[in-house]
Amino acid sequence: MAQLAYLVDADPDWVDGSGAAAAAVSSAGRSLSLFGSDAARLTRIADDARLAGLGVQALRKLSDVTEGTAGLLGDIVAIDVPSVSGAEMAALVRLDERAVRSGAQLIVLTSEAALEDVFGCLERSHPQIVIGGRQSEGLIALGAALARLQGRRVREMDEEDRLAFLKLTEQLGRLSDRLDRFESGTTRLESPAPGFKGEGGDGRRRARPALPDARLVHRIIHQRRLRGKFLLPDLFADPAWDILLDLTAARVEHRRVSVTSLCIAAGVPPTTALRWIGQMLDLGLLVREQDDQDRRRAFIDLSEDGAAAMARYFAALAGDGGQLS
């Protein structure tokens, strides 16, 4: 967690200008709960938590949650659930409810195969979902969870604070990539940081133009992907924009988009895509919708504000005579 301290020292006013970032690293009195059956998969995040000053509770089985023997939850709860049975889904729903009541932050280690079920079960707690076993991804999730513990949830922050939280997460992501390159000798290029602002920046509502023809959006998506056939795809990684384009086309086509499908559309590793989806939900650009037929499933859509912003963008693009993005 020295890396987290380094980032805070580099930008000490990321929350509200009062040094709250330093408090994110100082976690005296905080604790981490561990749930799962494979201690090895949770070892790294537990070790990082100890270095951050958290007390680490003994590993418990997910079944303890539904059996009422799980005890008190820690401030952060790490759950290892690579596959999901009916009993484990019930436990995740229970943990989701308990986390909302207690204010605990959830970190869920899972697999691509189980992602839809896991995401569908965790409707209210805004968890950090990690796909695969990279230590750097667990570090980012732990840092984000610690940051959220220091005050209001991200969805309750004002726009300036939410963007500051995005900034810290991006700093953590850049650091983790540097660490991965150092350890493996490979090179990975970074996605540019987002800079979303509503039109005019003054918060006033404006008449919303219609969304563009879906064929135009699909053409733009195709052209963006075409670059990767001739140049390094990582040069153009921009998951936020790819997510917005995919959801714009889906809304015009009256098509629902699952979280797995959206991760694919983002064009980045699933954990990275999930982090962007979570941030954009917190920023109010996206909304989560439960499946009316199957409450275990959830879909992602543009929020009304997100749809309005995309409609205005395409209207401005048409006014400039352009069709590329």
* 108 in the same domain as 59: yes
Determine, yes or no, domain membership for 189.
Answer: no
* 35 in the same domain as 170: yes
Determine, yes or no, domain membership for 198.
Answer: no
- The residue among 204 and 38 whose pLDDT is bigger is 38
E strand or H helix that includes residue 109:
strand 105-110
Q: Which residue, chain included where needed, has tokens 């967690």?
A: 1
Q: What digits encode the pLDDT tens for the residues 18-28?
A: 333 333 334 55
* 42 in the same domain as 85: yes
* 221 in the same domain as 88: no
193: left (phi over 0), alpha (psi -120 to 50) or beta: beta
* 180 in the same domain as 232: no
pLDDT at 5 over 50: no
Determine, yes or no, domain membership for 197.
Answer: no
Determine, yes or no, domain membership for 196.
Answer: no
Domain CATH code at residue 221:
1.10.10.10
Strands 105-110 and 76-80: parallel
* 177 in the same domain as 28: yes
Q: What digits encode the pLDDT tens for the residues 48-97?
A: 899 888 999 999 999 999 999 998 999 999 999 999 999 999 999 999 99
Determine, yes or no, domain membership for 110.
Answer: yes
* 245 in the same domain as 137: no
Q: What digits encode the pLDDT tens for the residues 284-302?
A: 999 999 888 877 789 999 9
Average pLDDT, the chain: 79
Decide which of 184, 219, 247 is a domain's last residue: 184
Determine, yes or no, domain membership for 155.
Answer: yes
* 12 in the same domain as 131: yes
Which 8-state DSSP code applies to residue 28? Answer: T
* 91 in the same domain as 16: yes
Q: What digits encode the pLDDT tens for the residues 251-270?
A: 999 999 999 999 999 998 89
pLDDT for the residue numbered 140: 85
Lowest-confidence pick of 56-60, 150-154, 252-256, 320-324: 150-154
* 123 in the same domain as 41: yes
pLDDT for the residue numbered 23: 36
- Treating both helix axes as pointing N-terminal to C-terminal, what angle do 239-252 and 304-319 enclose, rounded to 10 degrees? 90
Domain CATH code at residue 99:
3.40.50.2300
pLDDT for the residue numbered 19: 36
What strands, in cross-sheet order, belong to the sheet with 105-110? 55-60, 31-35, 76-80, 105-110, 128-131
Determine, yes or no, domain membership for 202.
Answer: no
Which 8-state DSSP code applies to residue 157? Answer: S
- The residue among 309 and 155 whose pLDDT is bigger is 309
- What is the pTM for the complete model shown? 0.73
pLDDT-derived band at 167, boundaries 50, 70, 90: low
Determine, yes or no, domain membership for 245.
Answer: yes
Cβ neighbours of residue 23 closer than 8 Å, sequence gap 6 or more: 150
Per the DSSP assignment, residues forming a β-bridge with 287 are: 301
Written as six digits, the tokens of 90 are 């019930």
Cβ neighbours of residue 262 closer than 8 Å, sequence gap 6 or more: 243, 246, 247, 273, 277, 300
* 225 in the same domain as 139: no
Query: What would the 3-class secondary structure string for 152-206 be?
Result: CCHHHCCHHHHHHHHHHHHHHHHHHHHHHHHHHCCCCCCCCCCCCCCHHHCCCCC
Quick one: average pLDDT of 226-242? 86
Decide which of 184, 200, 228 is a domain's last residue: 184
Q: What digits encode the pLDDT tens for the residues 169-192?
A: 555 555 555 555 555 554 443 443
209: Cα separation from own chain's centroid = 29
* 302 in the same domain as 217: yes
Domain that holds residue 299: 211-319
Written as six digits, the tokens of 179 are 């660490």
pLDDT for the residue numbered 117: 94
- The residue among 172 and 111 whose pLDDT is bigger is 111
The total domain count for the chain is 2
pLDDT at 307 over 60: yes
